[in-house]
Structure 1
Amino acid sequence: MSRHSKNNTARGHFTYAEMQMLDYGTKKQRLGRDSLRDYDACYLCLQTARDPVCCPEGHLSCKECIFENLLAQKAEIARQAKQLELYQAQEEKEQELKEAIAQQVILSEFERSQMGVLSKSRTVRGQTADSAKIADSPLVQTHSSASSTPSSVNSKKRPFELDEEELERMSKQERIEVAKVLEAEEKAKKPVLPSFWVPSLTPSNKKTEFKATKHHTMCTAGEEEHKLSLKNLITVQFETAVDDNDGSDPKLAKKSAICPICRKGFTNTTKMSILRNCGHVFCDNCCKQFVKKEGKCQTCGKKTKDKDIVSLTSEGSGFSSGGAKEAKKFDVAFQ
């Protein structure tokens, strides 16, 4: 029988020690208490929240931190809106330039065709399908329907009138079609095998359309972002108790948050609820037994409905019963 060793590679499977030495595949490890923030810690600065506030989903943060975050998001939204305006203005300018070039091509071809230098079949306008669109236009249809009506119904012929808006629309549509044909001809002139070192000839040289990614200020504490504004913030009011078991100076005694009803201290394993209208925090058991049944806050006496109760989120204690938090690392598997 062979001697067991941590580096024994003759077996058909990996031992635990060998798995820990691997640098590929999927690795996961449960996070301990030191890797999780406290129940009263801000999710932005990760310190004990000062002037704590929470969003409608129960994510706790410092008042100063969330204000700075919202201001930064608004500045980013304004920057993206300004960049979008510049992009749209540039697109309009380029489109106007293309239409101007197309208009000049149309005029030059018209002059040459009138002089008998250029045949109509070889013009750029002959490659477009404007004739079919003009035939289907409401102006032509109205004129044809008016001319086809019998004389008994309409004894007087209605005079033919040119609609300036319709003419402008048809002219613009013709310029757009000619611009597309010119762009297609320009692309066809490029070599089949482009010189990849020239930026204008690279196959991946495509102009991406700019889109604004942010339109509202969001709360990023949870897995799914949700809208957040200053009006929706809830001021959190923890009831604190002084822990003087060590008999030290009362001024240096540690203060901890407790439930106002059962007087039990809050931890990461405690499920807590906050009242939206007053901001007082209770444990879930006391909230169900007293606050929901009586319909008022047990601290200040304000009326409370079920929709005013918000559950505060916590990252847990690191144990399976208090919230399973794992860190995973993905890498290319051994082949």
Structure 2
Amino acid sequence: MTRHARNCTAGTVYTYHERKKDTSSSGYGSKEVRLGKDSVKEFDCCCLTLQPCKNPVITPDGYLYDKEAILEYIIHQKREIARKLKEFEKQKTKLETEKAELCKAAVEAKKTAFVKKETNPVADNMEQKKLAVESQVPTSLSNMETGKDKTLPSFWIPNLTPHAQPTQVKKPEEKVRCPMSKKPLRLKDLIDVTFTPIKDGDSKTALIAKQARYVCAVTNDVLGNSVPCAVLRTSGNVVTMECLDKIIKKDMVDPTNSKKLMEKDIIPLQRGSSGFSGAGINLKAKRDGAALQA
């Protein structure tokens, strides 16, 4: 029987595998995971519903939405903004009323103090001397030695119990923002998109069940997450970036309707990924957890 010099757990180095195992079991430290193809949205799916679009529209930043879903989102956001604005205006009116009442009370207090001083100046001088004595540093640690027992609030008396102020409502932003790019989104900025369906002769299989659903409007190349593509604003057709570079950009004319194109009329479609590292998309997800203190 062979004799081993050291056991498998007698290593002097805290290995990567041991560190990952301890991190996952303890819940401390940062966790990273690489997303697979099943976790990535398809290029022709809505960014809100994650389903193939029935009436696809695209934003100027290249994010695809179903028209019904993005309209519901815009309406919901406008209602929320109106509700928050109403709440903010109500709070503003309340604060202005309270401020006016405090100013009025301060003016009345000054008037009362002035009348009191003019009618009895001797008593006013005695009160000033009393305040000067109370403002001196007390010799005792007790707060009740200088007569503060009547001014300090008591937690057992309801009207003297300190209460927390309500949370101040901040003025909401009045612009609806895109849920993906967080940039201002307007209804007139949405562009209708036309996908060219593939001609495979299969009319029985549902569209969502097909792996290849659409092709380039010019070259008939199959579109997918691994194929970069763009939308032409003039026609709404989807073409591949390869077709765009080799054919369309030479004359800057839309081949489907012969309209002149400009750089702003070419909108790269924000796609998912094929799951491979060469897709050029970041597929890593990271969550920072609590760190162990030495």
TM-score (norm 1): 0.68
User: Are positions 1:250 and 2:209 aligned together?
Assistant: no
Distance 1:258 1:279 in 2: 14
Distance 1:110 1:250 in 2: 94
Match of 1:76 among 75, 80, 99: 80
Aligned to 2:132: none
Distance 1:230 1:310 in 2: 17
Distance 1:215 1:243 in 2: 48
Q: Match for 2:60: what amino acid?
A: P
Aligned to 2:260: 303
Mapping 1:54-69, distance limit 5 Å: 54-69=58-73
Distance 1:55 1:61 in 2: 8
Q: Contact 2:235/2:256 (CA < 8 Å) preserved in 1?
A: no
Q: Match for 1:12: what amino acid?
A: V
Aligned to 2:228: 271
Distance 1:241 1:284 in 2: 18
Distance 2:166 2:72 in 1: 35
Q: How many matched pairs?
A: 258
Distance 2:127 2:174 in 1: 50
User: Are positions 1:284 and 2:241 aligned together?
Assistant: yes
Q: Match for 1:72: what amino acid?
A: H
Match of 1:321 among 274, 278, 283: 278
CA shift, 1:310, in A, is 1.0
CA shift, 1:197, in A, is 12
Distance 1:216 1:67 in 2: 15
Match of 1:28 among 26, 29, 32: 32
Mapping 1:146-185, distance limit 5 Å: none
Q: Contact 1:274/1:312 (CA < 8 Å) preserved in 2?
A: yes
SS in 1 for 2:250: helix
Cα deviation per residue 1:74-95 (whole Å; 9 max; x = unaligned)? 0111011101100110111101
Q: Match for 1:22: what amino acid?
A: T
Match of 1:215 among 166, 174, 178: 174
Distance 1:265 1:318 in 2: 18
Which runs of no fewer than 5 residues in structure 2 stay unpaired? 129-150
Q: 1:196 to 1:215 in 2, by over 3 A?
A: farther
Q: 1:120 to 1:265 in 2, by over 3 A?
A: farther
Distance 2:183 2:22 in 1: 41
Distance 1:243 1:35 in 2: 27
Match of 2:192 among 232, 235, 251: 235
Distance 1:48 1:300 in 2: 26
CA shift, 1:284, in A, is 1.2
Q: 1:88 to 1:18 in 2, by over 3 A?
A: closer
User: Are positions 1:201 and 2:162 aligned together?
Assistant: yes
Cα deviation per residue 1:252-287 (whole Å; 9 max; x = unaligned)? 375611112221111112111112232111111211
SS in 1 for 2:77: helix
Distance 1:259 1:70 in 2: 30
SS in 2 for 1:57: coil
Q: 1:200 to 1:315 in 2, by over 3 A?
A: farther
CA shift, 1:64, in A, is 0.7
Distance 1:317 1:310 in 2: 21
Distance 1:309 1:120 in 2: 83
Distance 2:17 2:278 in 1: 25
Q: Contact 1:32/1:318 (CA < 8 Å) preserved in 2?
A: yes
Aligned to 2:289: 331
CA shift, 1:96, in A, is 1.2
CA shift, 1:210, in A, is 2.1
SS in 2 for 1:29: strand
Aligned to 1:46: 50
Aligned to 1:92: 96
